[in-house]
Structure 1
Amino acid sequence: MANVTNATGATFDEQVLGADGAVIVDFWAPWCGPCRQVSPVLDQIADEHPGVKVVKVNVDEEMDLAMQYQVTSIPAIKLFRDGEVRKEVVGAKPKGALLKDFEGLLD
């Protein structure tokens, strides 16, 4: 899990918007069962794609970020490139489905 970090409102701009390459942001909460299911899948994707960074945002602690990025259901997974959201996925999906959703955006 070399490329997996947690973000707060104070660190989000640097960790996500200013990052080089693809950044997968996982908006989650500790009480969310599907969030706990998809978290290790995102960790695997980060391990298998060295240029990809995974940033986790706890929506209970970072409500302002969740509102700013219009998170209404979790897990909400947003793939950023060059500081912009390029793909959004809501709900837990298996690794193959996520990779298909992110096709062409991870390199």
Structure 2
Amino acid sequence: MAKQFLGTHDHILAWRPPTAAGKYTNYNYCDLFTPKRLDSYEYIRVEERQEFMPRPYSWSGMPQQYLDLTCASPASPIPIKAQVSLFLHSIITRIVLGKKYFSESEDKGAIVALE
């Protein structure tokens, strides 16, 4: 009996009917993050990573608005959670919105974070 359920008729029993929740939350069952589409955004990930990597050297002197903790001395802990969150947020907003949300420079094309 188990052989029939798990082997012979597995494809029939594993099928689930489409639901309204899947239709509306998954954009009508479209594959939004196909490997081809993710590869097309590689240049964004590379640019953001190149901008992020020099930051560990300057985190202790970074303005308070970007940090959760105050870095009083070079021996104090680095708030890595806030920095990684900022890094991932930058990548996601560039992919979704097409522009940077947080910018340390005053570029005309960048959306500057509100204080």
TM-score by length of 2: 0.24
Instruction: Say which structure is richer in strand.
Output: 1
Larger radius of gyration: 2
TM-score by length of 1: 0.26
